[in-house]
Amino acid sequence: MAGKSKETSQIKQLLRLHKQGDSIKSIARNLGVSKNTVKVYISKLEAGAIPISELLEMDDPLMMGKFHVGSPAYKDPRFEYLRANLTYYAKELESVGMTRLLLYEEYQAGCKPAYSYPQFCFHLRQQLVARRPGMRLEHLAGDKLFVDFAGKQMHYIDRETGEVVPCQIFVASLPFSDYCFVMAVRSQRVDDFLHALECCLRELGGAPAVLVPDNLKSAVVKANRFEPEINRALDDFANHYGITVIPTRSRKPKDKALVENQVKLVYNRVYARLRNRQFFDIESLNQAIREKVKAHNQTRMQQKPYCREERFLAAEKHLLLPLPVECFEVKYYSEPKVAHNNHIYLGKDKHYYSVPFAYVGQKVQVIYTRSMVKIYARNKQIAVHVRNLNPAGYSTQKDHLSSHHQHYLERSPKYYIARAKEKSAELHLLFQMIFEQNTHPEQLYRTCDGLLRLQKGVESDKFGAACELAMNVRNLSYRFVERILKNNMADNQDEPKQEQSLPDHHNIRGMEYYSQTTIKF
């Protein structure tokens, strides 16, 4: 039968007229078709041996199948051979270096006669597509957030150097409403990725139940179809906001097909519309992106009576999880060993932080954020520091040091004078005189330590007298006070002195000699 197949209604009319006994010529004239067409349908009717009454009661597609059984190409022996070897061809196409042309040469050698190369590629593609059908997924409101990075970058120009700085474009989409969020960040590193996620959630005003990222390293450390290893920083982020992270399967972009489609729309509605504009910082670039994305979300969707923003505000936003008041800070982890000076070294900052001296030589766990450093040992927190980015610096808390080290750090003239005042008034005056000397205080601290040690093993009266004697003769050293106490010099000062008369001698000058104004020899 040449030409196109007839409509089902026309075929049914042909069958009714044939059932009534009309001739072929009469049927052709009444239906406006050729006599050969009527003959072909009547011959098919007789070959099928199906009563006309049953054919007329069938639905249109079923009845059409009785007269048009499909393309004869799919009953061709060449197609049967191709279909029988389809699994082998599909597996071979995944081999390194294998092409359809090489596969066709193998097929041609094994099948006689064979399809031409275009026919082979057509049937192979049709069968491979049919074996991997797609599936439409129903998404609940507020359930998932798909995230991805666009393959193409945008850029801004450094105003000072004129350098073109490329930026990665973060794209997120809520599959229920198809509401979109886009933001430019400097890289796909963990800090920038989580910053973009943070801004996205703040923009949405809530958090979804599930986050669906790609298998980039900032999200997934080790991809696995069944149990992917999530990046610890992303895990902390998800715990902070009460989100579950379920990455897509590796090399399966259909798992987040909606955000992949959003990327294509972003190319058209953001990239293309900003292609002739120049930006000189990332903030102005993001401002322009926000304006275009807002217009995109407010554009009426095809075949739907609403836009993305209307759908999001009406049916999804109120179902998102509430956000915590505090913003998330990226946590970093380290396990250093406590050095002999009871400090740990944080390699990222090249800075030292103190821990209690009892943990010297032990390994500790350090969790630090942008602002704080927390140190743990034996499942308890042992130290907290404000993060300091000063390289080669030390952050030390005095209560972490031993008593001896605390004493050493507390030394000062005021400290020693205050301690002496507690001991005795004489020692207090002696220390005041010691620090009044024109000497660096560091040189006097050991003298004070020695005097305090002497004071412990001597009676208070005896030590006070020794201090007074040292002050009288202006010899304020530790050794002099020690000699006074050792030789009992302070006791001899209390006995009355006996005046001794001068011996008689003719060469002794008396008072008159020294009172004369003119010396006489």
Q: pLDDT by residue (tens digit) across 29-40?
A: 888 888 888 888
Please state, in angstroms and as integers, the Cα–Cα distance from residue 451 to each residue in 90, 333, 438, 445, following that order. Answer: 94, 49, 19, 10
Measured CA distances, 216 to 234, 251, 374, 471 (Å): 12, 11, 29, 78
What the block records as the tokens of 121 is 């590629």
Give the separation between CA 193 and CA 215, rounded to whole angstroms: 13
Predicted pLDDT at 1: 41
pLDDT single digits (tens) 46-104: 776 677 877 777 777 777 777 765 555 556 778 888 888 888 888 888 888 889 899 89
Determine what percent of the chain falls in helix, strand and coil, rounding each to the nearest 5: 50, 15, 35
3-state secondary structure labels for all residues of 264-296 = HHHHHHHHHHHCCCCCCCHHHHHHHHHHHHHHH
State the pTM of this model.
0.62
Decide: residue 154, CB within 10 A, 0-12 exposed, 13-18 middle, 19+ buried: buried
Range of weakest confidence among 104-113, 162-171, 351-360: 104-113
- Number of CB atoms found within 10 A of residue 388's CB: 15
CB neighbours (10 Å) of residue 495?
A: 7
Of all helices (H) and strands (E), which one includes residue 343? strand 343-346
> What does the alpha-carbon distance between residue 195 and residue 10 come to, in Å, rounded to a whole number?
66
How many Å apart are CA 515 and CA 400, to the nearest integer?
A: 73
Predicted confidence (pLDDT) per residue in 313-332, tens digit: 999 999 999 999 988 888 88
Given a contact cutoff of 8 angstroms between Cβ atoms, the answer to whether 396 and 343 are in contact is: yes
